Amino acid sequence: MKKLFKTALAATLSLALAISLAACTSGGRTEQPASPAASSTDSSNAAPDTSINANGFAADATIGVSLPWLGTQNWQEASDMFKNQLETAGFKAIIQAADNKVPQQQSQIESMIENGAKVIVVGPIDGSQLGTVLEKAKDAGIAVIGYDRLLENTTGVDGVVQFGSIETGRLQGQALLDGLAKVKGAGPYNIELFGGGPADPNAPNFFKGAMEILQPKIDDGALTVVSGQTDFTQCATLDWDNAKAQSRMDSILSGFYSDKEIHGVLSPNDGIARAIITASENAGQQIPVVSGLDAENESVEWVWSGRQYSTVAKPTDVLVAKTIEIIKSLQGGNGMPATDVKANNGKIDVNIYELPPVVVTKDNAKEIFANDPARMELLK
């Protein structure tokens, strides 16, 4: 008993130690002892972007990237690309993901500040819950770039790089309409609507954009939302959780479509799209026309095989490239690049760098992924 215990104890401890050591060596250890406190000036009320980094910073400075989690393909890709491209550009990169926990992300950003990062790129879990730490970053003279999602409710943000979320929504709505006309013959059509995670500020915008296209058709009777659930809060999918979307689809199908056919579903992303398609198949329905977003591998295959009608590619490489372009501009002392688009985040107007998304259907998939060998593999 005693011996067993000792062995077990030793084993656990050494495992912990081993992982810590592995972690130490693989983690980005920097030799910069300069504490941010030392370099900062008393700048509690300084304007957000003009004074920061006016003279740029060292070409091998530390850049922090805080991502919400690595649970979906686009975030994993972003993590890899940031690491490669930042290091190629000569920066020291700290890339961390927060396991979808807000307090974890808060602490991560704080540790990046401690590590002397000059720029912190934040893909927030909840864009409105990082106020304090981002202001701390601002006070330490660090530029904060929002990645993919708006950073709300804080003055500590210098710009946000994202795909135009309303535009993305419009594209999804249009793709749904086109698909219905192409696949399901003449209308009127029965459709259902799904929204994304309500904590993500993009999700209502996707929905809003899509409804700009769909609402007129609903009003004139070309489209019928059989369940009657057309409000964003009714359609939203908490945490973008596919399982929740699937169970909502299951209950809609059993509740409203026992004697009807479903023709189309607006889906805010690919995971939810696949959940919807699976639910429809399980319910014995013909596969409806379903929109998507993110061009995940699985969905690209499904689009290619015709199960999912469309997806919208928000090529992560473009988003990462734009972010790195901004970082380089800051490094050179040129400040944040100019942009026309501003959005109010509840506290200040934030520079928005919008990128155009692209609709992918079976017809144009080969052209769009021509430069993406990994996805071209899927189109066989």
Partner 1 sequence: MRAIKKVLGGDLKQYAMIVVLCSLIIIFNIASGGKMVTPSNFQNLLSGNAYVLILAIGMLMVIVVGHIDLAVGSVAGFVGMIVAISARDFNLPWGAAVLIGLAAGVIIGAWQGFFLAKLGIPGFITTLGGMMIFRGAVIWISKSISVPAPPELKFFGAGYLPEWGPAWTGLNNSTLLLGIIAFAAFIWMEGNGSRRKAKLTGQRGEVWPSAIKIMLIGAVIGYATYLFGSGRPGTSFPVPGLILVILIIVYHTITERTPFGRHIYAVGGNKGAAALSGVNVKKVYFLTMLNMSLLAALAGIMFIGRSTAAGPSDGTSWEMDAISAVFIGGAAVSGGIGTVRATMIGGLVMAVLNNGLMLLGVGADRTQVIKGLVLLAAVAFDVYNKTQGKSSIISRLFQKKETAAETK
Q: Please give the residue ranges that form the binding site for partner 1 (CB under 8 A).
A: 1-2, 5-6, 8-9, 12-13, 15-16, 19-20, 22-24, 27-33, 35-37, 40, 42, 44, 69-70, 94-104, 106-108, 110-111, 113-115, 126-132, 139, 152-154, 197-199, 233, 236, 238-239, 346
Distance CA 312, CA 241 (A): 19
Distance CA 219, CA 159 (A): 38
Please state whether the peptide bond connecting residue 188 to the residue before it is cis, i.e. omega within 30 degrees of 0: yes
Chain centre to alpha carbon of residue 362? 24
**Look-up of token digits 């979320």:** 165
Looking at beta carbons only, is 171 or 235 nearer to partner 1? Answer: 235
Polymer length of the chain: 380
Looking at beta carbons only, is 97 or 287 nearer to partner 1? Answer: 97
Residue 176: other Cβ atoms inside 10 A: 29
Looking at beta carbons only, is 86 or 177 nearer to partner 1? Answer: 86
Question: Shortest gap between Cβ of 69 and partner 1 (angstroms)?
Answer: 8
Question: Shortest gap between Cβ of 30 and partner 1 (angstroms)?
Answer: 7
Taking alpha carbons only, the member of 57, 193, 32 closest to residue 114 is 32
Q: For residues 49 and 334, is the Cβ–Cβ distance under 8 A?
A: no
Q: In the numeric block, which tokens belong to residue 32?
A: 């910069």
Question: Shortest gap between Cβ of 2 and partner 1 (angstroms)?
Answer: 7
Question: Shortest gap between Cβ of 376 and partner 1 (angstroms)?
Answer: 30
Distance CA 380, CA 372 (A): 14
Q: In the numeric block, which tokens belong to residue 158?
A: 């210098």
Distance CA 177, CA 309 (A): 11
The single-letter DSSP state of residue 285 is P
Question: Shortest gap between Cβ of 134 and partner 1 (angstroms)?
Answer: 9
Looking at beta carbons only, is 124 or 357 nearer to partner 1? Answer: 124
Distance CA 219, CA 242 (A): 29
Looking at beta carbons only, is 29 or 380 nearer to partner 1? Answer: 29
Chain centre to alpha carbon of residue 208? 17
Distance CA 363, CA 373 (A): 18
Q: For residues 194 and 272, is the Cβ–Cβ distance under 8 A?
A: yes
The one-letter amino acid at 264 = G
DSSP alpha helix (H) spans, 27-91: 36-39, 73-88
Say if strands 223-225 and 119-122 run parallel, antiparallel, or are unpaired: unpaired
Question: Shortest gap between Cβ of 58 and partner 1 (angstroms)?
Answer: 17
Looking at beta carbons only, is 100 or 297 nearer to partner 1? Answer: 100
Looking at beta carbons only, is 83 or 307 nearer to partner 1? Answer: 83
Question: Shortest gap between Cβ of 76 and partner 1 (angstroms)?
Answer: 12
Question: Shortest gap between Cβ of 356 and partner 1 (angstroms)?
Answer: 27
Question: Shortest gap between Cβ of 154 and partner 1 (angstroms)?
Answer: 7
Looking at beta carbons only, is 44 or 258 nearer to partner 1? Answer: 44
Looking at beta carbons only, is 2 or 380 nearer to partner 1? Answer: 2
